[in-house]
Amino acid sequence: MPTQRLKIKGMTCAACVRRVEKVLQRAPGVQGATVNLATETAEIELAHPVEVAALIDAVRKAGYDAEPLAPELAEQDEAARGLQIRLALSIALTIPIVILNMFLPGVLPHQGWVLLALTVPVQFGVASPLYKSAYGALRHGTANMEVLVLLGTLSAFFYSLVLTVQGHGHHLYYETSAVIITLVLLGRTLEARARGRARQAMESLWKLLPRETLRWNGTAYEPTPLEQIRVGDRLLVRTGDRVPVDGVVLEGRGWVDESAITGESLPQERATGDRVLSGALLTDGALHIQAQAVGEATLLAQIAHAVAQA
């Protein structure tokens, strides 16, 4: 059964995951879809080949962004850096709001207006991604965590705004709005760091694979891109090469370092009839192997997927 993997951007909670899964499962030709919030990926089971553009369009209509996932290169999450900047700004503004509103009430002339000026950038500036996510959920008739967060913070903000306009300097709740948004951003930042570590772990595994290998064409071995290798192909692995696929040794003898895959610290001898794993390093010798599992079917790919699901 063919599968397609996509990188999904803009998900923030379990409700987002369910919504993306729902729109993908409704797409023509899709038999099932599993979305992982931690790694921001979707694995889609197809009944027949489907244009990737159609799947991406379905995700975008749900209010998210998507792009084909390149398994060998996980890009650094730029959104994590943006979150860190927003969090730093939110903390810098929230601290004086809390101090003035809770510990030094009335110490400044027109203190309510000062608090308002400090809170506006937090409520409507650093929290702007929350509005986008909430709007996308409401537009499709659902509610997510952002809707609840904004409902609470906007209530506190506008209640305090009315009191400020009326000239009341007490019982203002600007700090409630700012603190809630800051805590939400802190959680998002920690979550983004966890996703980054998961992607780095996956990237380190995929980097074990070579981009091309030597395949027998009937008369000689020729360099061939890894994505063109098929089950049954005869390949040559030389000293210093990484084994490109899971396979069995047809002839030759050598020592392979499988520590990155199995944890075995010492090189293991491999000869005719022995099994070799993709990602293993041939430290000595030369092996002619026959491919038995390629791409997503290799043990290395399964380990990478297990890391992603952890």
Domain boundary assignment for the chain = 3-68, 78-205, 212-297
* pLDDT level of residue 74 (50, 70, 90 thresholds): very low
Strand 281-293 to 221-225 pairing: unpaired
Cα distance between residue 157 and residue 5, in whole Å: 42
* pLDDT level of residue 178 (50, 70, 90 thresholds): very high
Cα distance between residue 252 and residue 25, in whole Å: 48
| pTM (two decimals) | 0.59
Per residue, the 3-state secondary structure of the chain, as one string, reads CCEEEEEEECCCCHHHHHHHHHHHHHCCCEEEEEEECCCCEEEEEECCCCCHHHHHHHHHHCCCEEEECCCCCCCCCHHHHHHHHHHHHHHHHHHHHHHHHHHCCCCCCCHHHHHHHHHHHHHHHHCHHHHHHHHHHHHCCCCCHHHHHHHHHHHHHHHHHHHHHCCCCCCCCHHHHHHHHHHHHHHHHHHHHHHHHHHHHHHHHHCCCCCEEEEECCCCEEEEEHHHCCCCCEEEECCCCECCCEEEEEEEEEEEECHHHHCCCCCEEECCCCEECCCCEEEEEEEEEEEEECHHHCHHHHHHHHHHHC
* pLDDT level of residue 71 (50, 70, 90 thresholds): very low
* pLDDT level of residue 274 (50, 70, 90 thresholds): very high
* pLDDT surpasses 70 at 165: yes
* pLDDT surpasses 60 at 77: no
Average of pLDDT values for 82-98?
93
Residue 308: per-residue pLDDT:
64
CA angle (89 as vertex; 15, 188 as ends), nearest 5: 25
Domain 3-68 falls in which CATH fold?
Alpha-Beta Plaits (3.30.70)
Residue (of 248, 253, 238) closest to 291 by Cα position: 248
* pLDDT surpasses 60 at 73: no
| Contact criterion met (CB below 8 Å) for 8 and 79 | no
Residue for token pair 């603190």: 179
pLDDT tens-digit map of 233-257 = 999 999 999 999 999 999 999 999 9
* pLDDT surpasses 90 at 118: yes
CATH no. of 212-297 = 2.70.150.10
Give the residue, 309 or 88, on which the prediction is more confident: 88
